[in-house]
Amino acid sequence: MRQKIFRFVADLRFSIFLLLLISVFSIFGTIIEQDQSLELYKNNYPLTNPVFGFLTWDRIINLGLDHVYKTWWFFGLIFLFGLSLISCTFLQQLPSLKIARRCQFFRTTSQFSRLKIFTVLNNFSFNQILAQIKLKNYSIFQQKNTIYCYKGLTGRIAPIIVHFSMILVLVGTIVGSLFGFKAQELVPKTESFHIQNILSNGQLTTIPKTSARINDFWITYTKSKTISQFYSDISILDTKGKEIKRKTISVNYPLIDNNVYYYQTDWNLVGLRFQTDENNVIESPLVNLNNNSNKIWLSWIATNSSLTEGFVIIADNLQGYCSIYNEVGQFLGNIELNETINFKSPLTLIEIISSTGLQIKTDPGIPIIYGGFFFLMLSTLISYITYSQIWIIQNNNKLFIGGTTNRAIFDFELEFFKFVK
C-alpha cells in the first residue's frame, strides 16, 4: 500500500497537475494585491460587482488570496510537489541511471530487429571497427562474441539535476516566505531611524534591531528639468550610535548590511526653513497636493498673528527654488536658497527640507533560488550530451551491428555508417 502511494506521488501526471495548481495560484498572487489593508480589497473587489465574475473581497480574505505565498495550503502544494520530485528521483530516475550503467548485451541476433539503425556485414574487419568505435570515445565491453558499447552516460544525469534544481527553488521560496520581510520608511534628511513600518513579514521573521541615519539626500536632473536619479547617503549605526558602514545608494544600487537590503524608492518634501532678520530660524511645513502627474508641495506663510494674511509658496523640485503667490493666486516670483523676500518683515530661505523613501527588505531564500537556477542551467547544458549505444554480435562469418541514441539521430547515423564503411 505504501509503495503504491509513493508510486502515485512519483507519477509524472501527478507532478504536472501539482505544478499547474501552483502556477494558477501564483497567477492569483500576481493579479491580486498582496498584504494590503481590508479597505483596499473592499474598494477594489466589491460584493456587488465581482471581478472576473467571482472575485469578491470576502472570498479573497477567506481563501487567503491576499497573502497567497504564506498560506498553509500553498506551502502544502509546494511540499507535495517537492515530495513528488524526490519520489520520482529515487523510484524512477536513479534506477534508470543504474540500468544505463549496466552492460546490456544482446544474446540473440533477433534483438537487432528492434533497432532502427542496424546492418549485417559479410565482409568486415572486426578490429578496425572496434578501433573506430574506440576513437569516438565509446566504452567497450565484450563477452565472447558479443560486444556492447556506450558513451554520453553523463547526459542521463540531467533529469536528476533538473529535479534537484526545482527542489532548491521550492525550498528557497519557502525560506523566503517564512524568514523574509519588507518595510517602507520615509526619513527626513539628517535623521536617524529604526525599521518600524513593516509591510509584510514571514511567520518566523526576526526584524533586525539596527538603526541607520540619512546623512544627505539629493536629486540630479536632466537638461530638460526631468529627474535623472535619486541619491541617499546612508550610515548604518551600532547600538551606541557609532557608524559601522556608509554608502551612497541610488535606484537599483542598494546598501547591503547583514543580508538586509536598503533600496532607494521615493522622496518627499517636508518643509521650508527660513531665517528672520533677528537670526531666528522658523520652519513652515509643506503639504503634498497628490498630483498624479507631478509632485507639488504647498506651504502658507502668514504675515499677521491671525494667520489671515500671507503668501503661498509652491515647490515641485529640489533644485533650490520655489514659486511665490499671494492670497488670490497671483504669481509674485521665485525665491532661491539664501535669497531674502520682504513681506512686512524680511525672510531668508535657507533650506528646503527633504525626506527619502527607502524600501528595506531581506529574503534569505534568494541565494538558494539562485543556486536552483544555476543547477537548472547546468542540467540544460548536460542534456545536450548524447547518450548512444552500439551492439555487435559476431555469428559465423556475419557481423550483426546496430545502435540507438536519445538525440542527434542524424549525427549518430553518420557516425554509425563510418563504423561499418
The answer to whether residues 419 and 132 touch, using CB atoms and an 8 Å cutoff, is yes
What is the rounded CA–CA span in Å between residue 185 and residue 246?
18
> What is the Cα–Cα distance from 344 to 337, expressed in whole angstroms?
20
The CA-to-CA distance between both ends of the chain, in Å, stands at 55
Helix pair angle (158-179, 72-88), 10° resolution: 160
Backbone angles phi, psi at 165, to 5 degrees: -65, -40
Per-residue pLDDT of the chain (421 residues; tens, 9 = 90+): 677 777 888 888 888 899 899 989 889 888 888 878 888 888 888 888 888 888 888 888 888 888 888 888 988 898 898 888 888 888 888 887 777 777 788 888 888 888 889 999 888 788 888 888 999 999 899 888 899 999 988 888 888 899 899 899 989 988 988 899 999 999 988 899 999 888 888 888 888 888 999 999 998 888 877 888 889 999 999 888 889 999 999 988 999 998 899 999 888 888 888 888 888 888 888 888 866 567 888 888 887 777 777 888 888 878 888 888 888 888 888 888 888 888 777 888 888 888 999 999 999 999 999 999 999 999 989 988 889 999 999 887 889 999 999 888 899 999 988 888 7
| Three-state SS at 404 | strand
Q: From residue 288, give the alpha-carbon distance in Å to each of 189, 281, 295.
A: 17, 23, 7
CATH topology of domain 103-152+386-420: TATA-Binding Protein (3.30.310)
Domain boundaries along the sequence of the chain: 2-96, 103-152+386-420, 181-356
C-alpha–C-alpha distance, residues 233 and 119, integer Å: 76
Residue type, 318: L
Side-chain-side CA neighbours of residue 93 (13 Å): 20
